[in-house]
Structure 1
Amino acid sequence: MNNIPLFQQLAHDSWVKPFFKQYRWTLALAIFLGFCTFFCAGALMFNSGYLISKSASLPENILLVYVPIVLTRAFGIGRPVFRYVERLVSHNWVLRMTSHLRVKLYKAVEQDAIFFKRKYRLGDVMGLLSEDINHIQNLYLRSIFPTLIAWLLYVVIVIGLGCFSLGYALLVALYFLLILLAMPLWSIIVNGARQSKEKTLKNDLYTDLTDNVLGIADWIFSQRGQEYVALHEQSQDKLSRVQSSMRKFNHLRDLLFQYAFGLLALLTLVWCSTQFIGNHGGAANWIAAFVLSIFPLVDAFAGLSAASQETNTYADSIERLNALPEETEEQTWHETPSQPLQFDIQDLTFRYETKDVLNHLSVTIHAGEKVAILGRSGSGKSTLASLLRGDLIPSDGTVLLGGVPVHHLQSTISQYIGVIQQEPYLFNTTILNNIRLGNEQASVEEVWDVLQRVGLKSMVEQLPDGLATIVDEAGLRFSGGERHRLALARILLQNTPIIILDEPTVGLDPITEQAVLHTFMHELQDKTLIWITHHLQGIEAVDRVLFIEDGQLEMQGSPEYLQATNPRYQRLKAIDDGE
């Protein structure tokens, strides 16, 4: 969390500030309409106070009552009309601006996901999308517009009172400065830090919850479900305590604000009593007018303190958005890896901000080799899989495929590496289209061939529409094992030399898991196979086991070698086998 004031962030901003100039006339119109709204509200009460007092006396001329009646109607109609038009103009301006911001944000994420993911995790992306853009929207609707309108009203009120009494105008000027400056400053000092802490805790919750939900299978498998719930409740309690403190302060500040305006009304009553000396029906008619006109101003000034305390979060959001990569940072490489397609991982380190996920890891995966990568949740094995796919860039060290850094392959990576995820995704289209994602030019005969190889041909043939059967969204009409086999069929049709299995059997029952693993190993026997897993079921089918803990390679070797020589491996295998 930064401590740079909002105005300093805006001085070097390339996201928000350009819209001030681009839509300056719309911005000015929104502020003018907001001013007219409160002016009509105050004028309505002023005119009503005068009309009530004047009507209680015998008017010298009917026009002295008729004109205030007409003005009362005019100001009464004008207030909601101006309010409605102001909301249309201001929200149209802000929503148009935030629409451009979202497009720019999506382009920043999409244009070069490799660079973006090196610095941001999925939880960070959620924070950017859901929190920061909304904070920029609130910056205008809850801070800039109300503040400018309030200051414009302040100037008009002081000038207007100056026409009656210069001394009282100066007193009101100082009094409103207390409301416009002192109370917001108090809010920034006391609640601004809490507001910043609240935003930090929310961003951390996005990151932690996203990571934990994606890794929920590891929590369950390690029988640490209660620990997961306790961690979440602890984080939620911290956020709740901060929000409770903020609410208590806000209630106290709002109460003092109401007292301040009540005192202002009394001061105005005293001033009017001395200023407009007269009997019933004379200058005393102005007393009610001036006093009543005070109350509509409460709405104009009430939200300034709350808005000011949020400036730290606005500044932080602007900083995070400006830290995103520009389009000029996009790079394209045209390199072809040499044969054989061998992974060379040299002194690999990867970190999120200051946390090292992988620490000086070095290993070679030969072409045609079958390797299992094991480790506890958070050990770095999934991060290693992302680095092997080129989805992330190493902080230090290299990940080479055929002598070429993997992330240099970019759009051609699908020619070399196929991936089967924990939960293969099937789209809401036909079985044929889902499988052809691996090779759009494949014939129907080739599709039937891969279905035969993965053991699904007879099942698909029995469906009324065969290959034309529509797959429900996410493939929910199929069992977990069938979805994994369909994903394997897609990979076989793609025919890449390297396959990464990213915990493909999570959530499957033991019998289905064994059957799916057998199919994988049999059909991928001529491929380089990298299997990310959290337990040792079927581990005998691989050539080498790599065990990662705390970002480092703790042990490696063939399953037979580790079973014979490594006590820790023996214990893990015994636990996995239920012994």
Structure 2
Amino acid sequence: MAISLGILTFVCAGGLMFTAGYLISKCATMPFNILLVYVPIVLTRAFGIFRPVFKYCERITSHNWVLKMTSDFRKKLYNSLEQDAVFFNSKYRIGDILGLLSEDVAHIQNLYLRTIFPMLVAAGLYVIIVIGLGVLTPLMGLLLAILFGLIIIGIPVWSVLVNGQRQDDEKQATNRLYADLTDNVLGITDWIFAGRSAEYLGRRKNDEQQLRKSQHALHSFNYFRDFLLQMMILLVVIALVIWSSWRFGHHWGANWIAAFVLAVFPLDEALAGLPNAAQQTNTYVDSLERLNSLPAVPKDNEQLDVVHAPFQLQLTNVKFAYPHTKNVILNGLSLTIHSGEKLAILGRSGAGKSTLVSLLRGDRQPNSGSVLLNDVPTSEFGDQISNYIGIVHQQPYLFNTSVLNNVRIGNEQATEGQVWSVLQRVGLAEKIHQLPDGLNTKVGEAGLGFSGGEQHRLSLARILLKNVPIVILDEPTVGLDPITEQQVIDTFMKELKDKTLIWVTHHLQGIDQMDQVIFLENGQVDLAGSPAQLAKNSKRYRMLRAADEGLIE
């Protein structure tokens, strides 16, 4: 439909100019029959009306179809990233994803709107013109077949061969700049602290210069190619002038010369953009490959069998390293976390504590070994893992909506009474009662209306509302003052006393309330035991405890 409407648009445009040219030249003479003027007037009005109508309908039809088609690409992209979100940083650069969102889907739209549809419309017009003139004069039909063939096929193919690779190189360079700029801006403090700001700016400037050099060569060719295309159209006009003078010169020649020549000019709009559209095909193909290479969204909706208490986490000879890196984060780690156990995980920055948490929740899969919850790999639970394992992050995120909605993230079906109950347990009920709108009070963007300790308590309220058997505390007291820290720890220990608790921390305050403590070093458990055992038998633990309490430096 879009292609047919596109052809009709240019047929009406050509018909409008044809009849207008005939009518203008005819009105300069004395017509012996009023119909020789009246009929062209009617046709001019008809073509003038139907040209914008067909063009409008073509735009609606083509854009409607293309936007529906590309919406499937966007859905695939979002679903692929959503199902793979926890592996996001290890598989994708943020700049690459921004490139997919901002460029590649738009390229797919342009593939149809600026290349496929215009090419097929031009091909339809080519057939109409060649057959139409071929019926009048076979040799003229053959000549225009050659000239229009060069315009529609020859010049676009030449453009692809010469400039297509440049176009592709430009896109790749732009993608690299996009990705590098994103990563460098996110890590700008590292450049500054390393004293390498000048190096960063120099690299950026060099990359941009290379891109501009490539763009200059590309644009220079485009100018020459477009000039040549206009010369080809001029040859078509000259050929039509000569042919119409010969074919109709003996009978109202001026009228027909003006008609045929003016009918060519609307074709310039249909043909002028074909070479540039053709050379974009390499870019479009690259975008198609990138979108099609996204992981397929699984269609299997089968639910895992519900696992029942007691819940035990078992890690056996777990090895893990992030893709494209040589550093092994966990190297043969084995660990058993029994139901109801309180376990503290300590270790220096980069020792693998956060990686271990991701493996326990099934957010990542080990390179080798196994991470099991009641003999089921945690990575197989998918979204169901939230029914068994909850987590309080170092910086819990609160959405800019009501307190009620923020707490109900733990259980969307919870009643207001249940929400008040968990808020009472975490020590926030009195504060919420004092707020202007109670539970309906907005917490502010990122929870700015609440202190750090209160944000952690709201996060705990979500966990309590969900009532999961296993809770992970991922350094939840970082940045809190000592008094608030101890209050938050006491709340956690009191409300989670019947849960399996895994506490990731670098701070030993409150550590005596844990059943077991392990130290991660070089991807393995370097030290393990109860706080009392370690205090008695481990000199290293005693030194860490003293340093944490400020007794030694």
TM-score by length of 1: 0.74
Q: 1:63 aligns with which of 35, 50, 59?
A: 35
Compute the displacement of 1:211 (Å): 7.2
Q: Tell me which residue corresponds to 1:438.
A: 410
Give the counterpart letter for 1:291 in structure 2.
V
1:461-540 matches, cutoff 5 A: 461-472=433-444, 474-502=446-474, 504=476, 508=479, 514=485, 518=489, 522-523=493-494, 529-530=501-502, 536=506
2:301 pairs with 1:325: no
Contact 2:237/2:261 (8 A) holds in 1 = yes
Contact 2:344/2:502 (8 A) holds in 1 = yes
1:293-308 matches, cutoff 5 A: 293-308=263-278
Does the C-alpha gap of structure 1 residues 70 and 311 become closer, same or farther in structure 2, counting only changes over 3 Å?
same
Does the C-alpha gap of structure 1 residues 229 and 142 become closer, same or farther in structure 2, counting only changes over 3 Å?
farther
Compute the displacement of 1:86 (Å): 0.9
Question: How big is each residue's C-alpha offset from its partner over 1:36-68, in whole Å with a ceiling of 9 and x where there is no partner?
Answer: 111111222222223333333333433323322
Contact 1:187/1:308 (8 A) holds in 2 = yes
Contact 1:349/1:357 (8 A) holds in 2 = no
SS at match of 2:396: coil
Contact 1:415/1:496 (8 A) holds in 2 = yes
Q: Tell me which residue corresponds to 2:320.
A: 349
Does the C-alpha gap of structure 1 residues 320 and 393 become closer, same or farther in structure 2, counting only changes over 3 Å?
farther
2:86 pairs with 1:137: no
Q: 1:253 aligns with which of 197, 202, 222?
A: 222
The gaps in structure 2 that reach 5 residues or longer are none
Of 225-234 and 360-369, more deviation after overlay is shown by 225-234
What is the alpha-carbon distance in structure 1 between the residues aligned to residue 194 and residue 552 of structure 2?
20
Compute the displacement of 1:449 (Å): 6.3
What is the alpha-carbon distance in structure 1 between the residues aligned to residue 320 and residue 301 of structure 2?
23
Q: 1:385 aligns with which of 334, 345, 357?
A: 357
Q: CA RMSD in A?
A: 4.7
Compute the displacement of 1:92 (Å): 1.9
Q: Tell me which residue corresponds to 1:20.
A: none
Q: How many residues align?
A: 532
Contact 1:347/1:397 (8 A) holds in 2 = yes
Does the C-alpha gap of structure 1 residues 359 and 479 become closer, same or farther in structure 2, counting only changes over 3 Å?
closer
Does the C-alpha gap of structure 1 residues 220 and 109 become closer, same or farther in structure 2, counting only changes over 3 Å?
closer
2:119 pairs with 1:147: yes
Contact 2:17/2:263 (8 A) holds in 1 = yes
What is the alpha-carbon distance in structure 2 between the residues aligned to residue 448 and residue 222 of structure 1?
48
Question: How big is each residue's C-alpha offset from its partner over 1:160-191, in whole Å with a ceiling of 9 and x where there is no partner?
Answer: 23234433433332232323233333443444
Question: How big is each residue's C-alpha offset from its partner over 1:109-139, in whole Å with a ceiling of 9 and x where there is no partner?
Answer: 66x5589869954846655555444333322
Q: 2:252 aligns with which of 274, 278, 282?
A: 282
2:25 pairs with 1:53: yes
2:275 pairs with 1:309: no
Q: Tell me which residue corresponds to 2:56.
A: 84
Give the counterpart letter for 1:249 in structure 2.
L
What is the alpha-carbon distance in structure 2 between the residues aligned to residue 539 and residue 221 of structure 1?
31
Compute the displacement of 1:347 (Å): 3.7
Q: 2:231 aligns with which of 237, 247, 262?
A: 262
Give the counterpart letter for 1:288 in structure 2.
A
Give the counterpart letter for 2:120 in structure 1.
L
Does the C-alpha gap of structure 1 residues 257 and 223 become closer, same or farther in structure 2, counting only changes over 3 Å?
closer
Contact 2:191/2:200 (8 A) holds in 1 = no
Contact 1:420/1:488 (8 A) holds in 2 = yes
Does the C-alpha gap of structure 1 residues 289 and 233 become closer, same or farther in structure 2, counting only changes over 3 Å?
farther
Give the counterpart letter for 1:344 in structure 2.
L
What is the alpha-carbon distance in structure 1 between the residues aligned to residue 118 and residue 72 of structure 2?
23
Give the counterpart letter for 1:419 in structure 2.
I
Question: How big is each residue's C-alpha offset from its partner over 1:319-343, in whole Å with a ceiling of 9 and x where there is no partner?
Answer: 4444432544566432637756234
Does the C-alpha gap of structure 1 residues 526 and 449 become closer, same or farther in structure 2, counting only changes over 3 Å?
same
Max Rg structure: 2
What is the alpha-carbon distance in structure 1 between the residues aligned to residue 322 and residue 313 of structure 2?
24
SS at match of 1:371: strand
2:66 pairs with 1:94: yes
TM-score by length of 2: 0.77
Give the counterpart letter for 2:344 in structure 1.
K
Contact 1:350/1:396 (8 A) holds in 2 = no
Contact 2:152/2:274 (8 A) holds in 1 = yes
SS at match of 1:276: helix
